[in-house]
Amino acid sequence: MAQASRSQQLVRSERRMFAASDDNAMMKQILSTHAPDGRLVDIKPILLIIDNVLRHITPEVDQALTAGSGRIDSFDDPTNLSAIDDVLDALAYIVHKISCEISCKCAGGGDAHATTMVILNMLSSYSWDAKVVLTLAAFAVNFGQFWLIVQLCTTNTLAKSVALLKQLPDVLEHSQTLKPHFDALNKLIKAMIDVTKCIVEFIELPCEYISSEVPPLSTAMASIPTAAYWTIRSVVACAAQITSLVGLRQEFVTSTSEAWELSSLAHKVSSIHEHLQNLLRLCYQRIEEKKQEETYKEFIRIIETPQKEISKILRVIFRKEDPHPLFSPADKTRVDIDVLRRKHVLLLISDLDISLDEIQVLEVLYKYERASSSELNYEIVWLPIVDRSAWNDSYQQKFLNLQSIMPWYTVNHPSVIEPAVIKYTKEKWRFVKKPIVVTLDPLGKVTCTNALNMMWIWGNAAFPFSTDKEESLWKSESWTIELLVDGLEPNLPNWMREEKVICFYGGEKMEWIESFTSATKKAAQTLEIGLEMVYVGKNNAKERVKKISGLITEKQLSHSWQDASVWFFWNRLESMLYSKTQHGKTNDPDIIKQEVMTILGYDGSEHGWAIFFLGTTEMVRANGERVLSSMQSFEEWEEMARQMGFIPALRKHLEGITDDHHCTRLILPGISGGIAERVVCAECGRPMEMYFMYRCCVE
């Protein structure tokens, strides 16, 4: 019973010390024991053995106490002991010394804090991580010996004799009484190992990427002495619990306060572990940021330096860990980037919200390039830019669905793209939301940071896609009906050959459409001229336009384009504006740019609009109110139309109409490339004010 009394005294002393805060005086006492001499200790193999020992013990405790089985499990240690024999040989003495200190002090009912300080002084010349690991090793020896005897005493005569001499209790006989003790012991041991591994991780962080002089590592280093103290203190508490079992046997009297003490320590050490884990997470984040910064600089250097082969550029785009980063749609397999050697490569950069219309139109160009006999030697590679922190099964399925409909190469997974490349696409290539196509020539030189504009305007005729080619193509262009429509209307050649007046119009108010088409047809009939009208919809209003197109067809008001043609028409106009803005000279008048901006401005208003052509270049256009008013008052300028012709007369009539008020808006989606800072109103010629509009829905 004297042993039980000593144990209760230890608990009372432990409670008093545990209630004390880690104040400055205590910290000074802990730090005063620390006088490292620079010796290096290879603690990783020791920690591995400790982990193996304690990991094999703690499940056995639960199993033996709950199942009542005395079965002996083999100790399957995967560590190559011969490889670390020298390390253990050099440290065997200090481990044995700590083991003896713990056993003696605990057997004598010593104060846990005092014992902890003795151990810290004993290990003063070692680093903090070595102090904790060596103390844990001593505990593993003691606890391992204790549990081996407990395990073997029912089947091994020698073990039974040793158990009698040491007066160890029958664990199975007292299973219900001992279970709270061992449950608390298991939790504390796990917390001790977790904190120890954390401390070792901090010490081993690469100094070239993070400094111990600045947060978060400096904060962690300041916390390590406290973490080491409470880990060693917990070792002492665990050892005291094991020692308290010796000599009790049938006289064993349980104390719930002892289990409570271990649980309280486990809670404190677990809190320390959580604190260290948070700091460790911040450290790894800082290290990753530093590595990405270096990778980013290296990527800039490589991509902006002339190379001999495109594969070198492509290799830095993808993670080195993945030897086959691409997915081939032809044979549904993963392939190496060597399949792109000596080719022009078009990097299609988008998020997972790339539209099906965009894919379908690009597919037409891509497949035409393969079917033609020309030497258009280019390949497309899709690089999806995603938020990896938000990646889930839904995004995965969305990615796979898009990948399955793309006929060109894609990445096998978005994670193979280097983070530095993602940063570069946003900062240098100015990718935000709208897809872009960055072109590389066979030597890996970036020839255009967004060839998508050229592809929408001229298709494969713009190959090889480059800024020089784009500028050259614009020099040969003029504002014509062919440039505006670009083959979207299959009847256009026949209509032009028949010298018909051709009207393209847009808007989303059915009442205006019916009034405008009716009045225009009536004017054409009066003049006995051929007229064809085509409804081209409205930008970013797919469902409404589809409904209106159905009504136009049903009521036979005019021709009407389908979804893909409507989408392509408006995207080409936007591409023309961006392309012109990048290549145009702001001081020179640009008819094409002005006409494109006018039509886009019409579309941004709430009213309809119309543009009339006769032949290739003769044209006139106006917003919905003015053109409808003109058609409804046709008798006022009918005679002039008979003399001058329909389009010249309409133009002259429109010039005579003055608006007391008008409101013109030009709405453009965010995209890489410059936006014109000065835009003049299509109605009055005055400079328009610039505003920002954010919208999440294209409808």
Predicted confidence at residue 51, as pLDDT, reads 82
Domain ranges of the chain: 32-60+83-289, 310-476, 481-669
The CA distances from residue 561 to 382, 505, 609, 689, in Å, are 29, 11, 16, 33
CA atoms within 13 A on the CB side of 42: 10
Tell the burial category of 88 from Cβ atoms under 10 Å away from its Cβ (0-12, 13-18, 19+): middle
User: In this structure, which amino acid lies at residue 182?
Assistant: F
Predicted confidence at residue 82, as pLDDT, reads 57
Q: Decide: pTM greater than 0.75.
A: no
Whether residue 2 is predicted with pLDDT greater than 60 in this model: the reply is no
Sheet of 618-623, strand order:
559-560, 531-535, 501-506, 609-614, 618-623
Q: Confidence class of residue 589 from pLDDT cuts 50, 70 and 90?
A: confident
Q: Which of 439-448, 550-559, 587-596 has the lowest mean pLDDT?
A: 587-596
Whether residue 68 is predicted with pLDDT greater than 80 in this model: the reply is no
Please answer whether residues 177 and 252 qualify as being in contact, where contact means their C-beta atoms are separated by less than 8 angstroms: yes
Whether residue 647 is predicted with pLDDT greater than 60 in this model: the reply is yes
The CA distances from residue 228 to 33, 202, 255, in Å, are 12, 13, 28
Please answer whether residues 454 and 446 qualify as being in contact, where contact means their C-beta atoms are separated by less than 8 angstroms: no
In tens, the pLDDT along 317-375 reads 998 888 899 999 888 899 999 999 889 999 999 999 999 999 999 998 888 766 665 56
Whether residue 674 is predicted with pLDDT greater than 60 in this model: the reply is no
Average confidence (pLDDT) over 150-157:
68
The CA distances from residue 477 to 472, 592, 687, in Å, are 9, 9, 26
Task: List Cβ neighbours of 249 (8 Å cut-off, separation of 6 or more).
Answer: 167, 168, 169, 170
Please answer whether residues 236 and 107 qualify as being in contact, where contact means their C-beta atoms are separated by less than 8 angstroms: no
663-681: burial string, b at 16+ Cβ within 10 Å, e else = ebebebeebbbeebeebbb
Closest CA to 223 of 17, 42, 31: 31
637/631 Cα distance (integer angstroms): 9
Q: Does 24 or 448 have the greater pLDDT score?
A: 448
Long-range contacts of 469-477 (CB under 8 A, 24+ apart): 470/579, 470/583, 471/583, 474/579, 474/580, 474/583, 474/592, 477/592
Closest CA to 257 of 239, 273, 237: 237
344/333 Cα distance (integer angstroms): 22
Q: Does 592 or 75 have the greater pLDDT score?
A: 592
Q: Is 171 helix (H, G, I), strand (E, B) or coil?
A: coil
419/135 Cα distance (integer angstroms): 42
Whether residue 10 is predicted with pLDDT greater than 50 in this model: the reply is no
335/343 Cα distance (integer angstroms): 16
- 310-476 CATH, one of 3.40.50.720, 3.40.30.10, 3.30.450.20, 1.25.40.80: 3.40.30.10
363/348 Cα distance (integer angstroms): 12
Mean pLDDT score of the chain: 82
Predicted confidence at residue 262, as pLDDT, reads 85
Q: Looking at 247-394, which runs of residues are DSSP E strands?
A: 326-328, 333-335, 344-350, 378-384
Q: Looking up tokens 């002089």, which residue turns up?
A: 213
Q: Which of 274-283, 423-432, 524-533, 663-672 has the lowest mean pLDDT?
A: 663-672
